[in-house]
Amino acid sequence: MNISPTEAEEALAAIQATMKKARRAISASGAYGFLIVWGVVKMEAKNE
């Protein structure tokens, strides 16, 4: 599948905008604390 440079640029811009919105939503909701704790728990469980 071939896409033009303009289409690729638009797709990357849409992806970046979505990632930015997701980061804002996570930080605004306070979920980042939960995600950090959950990551530590998973790492500890994997090491056992």
Contacts (Cβ under 8 Å, ≥6 apart) of 26? 32, 35
Q: Is 2 left (phi over 0), alpha (psi -120 to 50) or beta?
A: beta
Q: Which two tokens stand for residue 44?
A: 């500890």
Quick: pLDDT tens for 19-29: 999 988 877 88
Q: How many domains are there within the chain?
A: 1
Report the predicted TM-score, pTM, of the whole model to 2 decimal places.
0.57
Q: Which two tokens stand for residue 17?
A: 């905008």
Quick: pLDDT tens for 6-46: 999 999 999 999 999 998 887 788 777 888 899 999 998 88
Indicate whether 48 pLDDT > 80.
no
Q: What is the chain's length?
A: 48
Contacts (Cβ under 8 Å, ≥6 apart) of 11? 3
Domain span including residue 13? 5-47
Helix (H, G, I), strand (E, B) or coil at 14: helix
